[in-house]
Chains A and B, each alone.
Chain A
Amino acid sequence: MSEGKTEAHGPRLPQIFARRLGGAGEQADIVPQSRLSGPIPWVIAIMVALMVIAAAGGLTLRNTGRAAAAELSGGITVQIVEARVDERDRQAVKALAALAAMPGVTGAHLVPQSELDSLVEPWLGDSADAVGAGAVPVPALIDARLAGALTPDRLVGLQAALRQSAPAARVDAQSTWLAPVFGAIGSLQWLSLALIVVLALATGAAVLLAARTALGNNRATIEIVHLLGGTDAQIAAIFQRSIARDAIGGALAGSSAALVVILLLGRSFAALQAGIVTGGTLGLADWAALLVVPAAAVVLAMITARWTVIRALRGML
């Protein structure tokens, strides 16, 4: 279309009809950010902090369990349960010799009497009065290490072999003593996982409510964009972007708070200096896994917002 032709038919037309291009503009948010976000960053911050702490707890418990299991795997305790002290000591020496001669036994030592005395002292009093005098018979203990996995069959075989030289010998896998502890650790790990799932669901629900509220508040604007030819994907993207901004802010704040809590708790537990506790420190892979939690929360929030908005838009023509 030429300008001259336009003039011939009437007033000069805006340049849009001549397809003139150029200039620069600044795009405003179609939906005002302040009306979208509300308390969502804070909700996400709290949820992310709790999720990261729960995840850190779960990972610590897992590491604790693994460290303890590694320490105890292949460990056996041989008890010589004999009331007569002379006979007990004789069988203990024989059992020790038999263990040393067995294939697959990497080490065995008799727990010294002084160590046994100190172990039972809290319950029985001074060994000189009680144990040493033979008033309370205390079994002799042999601590032994085996190469390879300690199966129940292998344990039965060991017991049978030892009883030939030491009829009072009883063999226990050390790991079985801590089986209830491992069970409890496993339960706590599941609990932390369940907590993370519940918190993730709560985050999703909060985002869903926020998106619905935002949709309601901006319904007139959305209808206009819709009637101007805006697609569901375009409109959903507006909300998704806004929720993403909120979620990233919340996730950063929540992660930072959780990090402080984890470091403080870590210092407190490290001060205990108990073997089983110090085995539960977080490794590099664990920290990387913890970083996944806030990232996953952001993705979850974005997916929830998109799903909510698209579902609501499908109610429109």
Chain B
Amino acid sequence: MSDPEAVPPRSPSSSGEAEIVQFDNVGLRYGTDREVLSDVSFTLYPGSFYFLTGASGAGKTSLLKLLYLAQRPSRGAIRMFGTDAITTPREKLPLLRRRLGVVFQDFRLVPHLSAYDNVALPLRVAGVSERELAGPVTDMLEWVGLADRMAARPATLSGGEQQRVAIARAVIGRPDLLVADEPTGNVDPDMAVKLLRLFEALNRLGTTVVVATHDVHLLRKVPDSLIMRLDRGRLGDPTGALRYPPRRSAGSSRP
């Protein structure tokens, strides 16, 4: 699968963008139901690490859908990578999506593709040649502990293994923004910590990370992270840190 318009993911530092994502009074409703997200406003800066928390039904998955461009909001404004994500023509959206890495809660692996091919998929979509992607894909699978399961199809993998493949697929393109929905829900505590370290390492390289989780223990493992707490569709920001994050300290990529 090749694309003549292939644009490799860029790192935030090289793009010179002040913010990765900006939500301004965003509301979302499905059909004629009540809004599942109301007046959501926040800014994600390059190199930041966020945890998105909230009770079930608080709107975490809906917010993530807006972040990974699977949904348009009912109202409000969203800017991603300096582009108005609402008015951008849909033909241009793939270029924005290629700068994202997404770990879906239900993994969404392609069932008839092997673990290797699933992880290679974002690179193939971006037009990376087979010769170029073979090494990184193999390394990534080795790193998530699936070196001996490369040829296995998702149906033959355990839940935890599928989750690791999903994470490997999300980070293989070294995205500018990584969005993960309960990424450690199906793995053992050791692997959860290991995966969190992977996210942190990516974060240190400039990737903005948003992890939706119920696991309060996970929040403590990334001390510099910011918490986005959703409550019945509204984003709590009592300190204003999400809208007006503290200034970056010298030599740090974190806000």
Chain B nearest CB from A317 CB (Å) reads 6
A21 contacts B135, C-beta separation under 8 Å: yes
Within 8 A of A (CB), among B179-194: 194
Task: Say whether B98 faces chain A, with CB atoms less than 8 Å apart.
Answer: yes
* Of A23, A228, A314, the contact of B121 (CB 8 Å cutoff): A228
Taken residue by residue from 219 to 253, chain A's Cβ proximity to chain B (1 for < 8 Å, 0 otherwise) reads as 01101111111111110011000000000000000
Q: Which residue of A lies closest to B132 (CB)?
A: A21
A231 contacts B94, C-beta separation under 8 Å: yes
Q: Which residue of B lies closest to A35 (CB)?
A: B112
The CA of A221 and the CA of B118, in the complex, are separated in Å by 11
- For A224, what are the chain B residues with a Cβ–Cβ distance below 8 Å? 108-110, 121
The CA of A81 and the CA of B138, in the complex, are separated in Å by 99
A221 contacts B110, C-beta separation under 8 Å: yes
- For B109, what are the chain A residues with a Cβ–Cβ distance below 8 Å? 224
Q: In the complex, which range does the number of interface residues on chain A fall in?
A: 35 or more
With A25-B130, A27-B1, A28-B114 known to touch, is A227 a contact of B95 (CB < 8 Å)?
no
- For A220, what are the chain B residues with a Cβ–Cβ distance below 8 Å? 108, 111
Taken residue by residue from 1 to 35, chain A's Cβ proximity to chain B (1 for < 8 Å, 0 otherwise) reads as 10000100111011111011111111110101000
Taken residue by residue from 28 to 69, chain A's Cβ proximity to chain B (1 for < 8 Å, 0 otherwise) reads as 101010000000000000000000000000000000000000
Taken residue by residue from 70 to 99, chain B's Cβ proximity to chain A (1 for < 8 Å, 0 otherwise) reads as 111000000000000000001101111110
- For B132, what are the chain A residues with a Cβ–Cβ distance below 8 Å? 21-22
The CA of A224 and the CA of B121, in the complex, are separated in Å by 10
A24 contacts B134, C-beta separation under 8 Å: yes
- For A20, what are the chain B residues with a Cβ–Cβ distance below 8 Å? 135-136, 139
- For A23, what are the chain B residues with a Cβ–Cβ distance below 8 Å? 131, 134-135, 138
B172 contacts A16, C-beta separation under 8 Å: yes
- For A228, what are the chain B residues with a Cβ–Cβ distance below 8 Å? 97-98, 102, 121-122, 125, 169
Task: Say whether B142 faces chain A, with CB atoms less than 8 Å apart.
Answer: yes
- For A9, what are the chain B residues with a Cβ–Cβ distance below 8 Å? 200-201, 204
Taken residue by residue from 118 to 151, chain B's Cβ proximity to chain A (1 for < 8 Å, 0 otherwise) reads as 0011101110001111111111101100000000
- Chain B: residues with Cβ within 8 Å of the partner, total of 58
Tell me how many residue pairs across A and B have CB atoms closer than 8 Å.
Answer: 130
- For B176, what are the chain A residues with a Cβ–Cβ distance below 8 Å? none
A16 contacts B139, C-beta separation under 8 Å: yes
Chain B nearest CB from A224 CB (Å) reads 5
- For A233, what are the chain B residues with a Cβ–Cβ distance below 8 Å? 3
**Could you say which of A14, A30, A237, A314 has the most chain B C-beta atoms within 10 Å of its C-beta?**
A14
The CA of A19 and the CA of B142, in the complex, are separated in Å by 16
- For B95, what are the chain A residues with a Cβ–Cβ distance below 8 Å? 229
Chain A nearest CB from B65 CB (Å) reads 10
Q: Which residue of B lies closest to A16 (CB)?
A: B136
A13 contacts B125, C-beta separation under 8 Å: no
A317 contacts B71, C-beta separation under 8 Å: yes
* Of B68, B91, B113, B194, the contact of A30 (CB 8 Å cutoff): B113
Interface pairs (26), CB distance under 8 Å: A6-B201, A13-B201, A14-B139, A14-B142, A14-B143, A15-B135, A15-B136, A15-B139, A17-B174, A17-B201, A19-B136, A21-B136, A22-B135, A23-B131, A23-B135, A23-B138, A24-B131, A27-B124, A28-B113, A28-B117, A221-B110, A228-B98, A229-B95, A230-B1, A234-B1, A317-B69
Given contacts A6-B201, A21-B135, A225-B125, 10 further A-B contacts (CB under 8 A): A10-B200, A23-B135, A28-B114, A30-B113, A224-B121, A227-B97, A227-B102, A229-B95, A229-B97, A230-B125
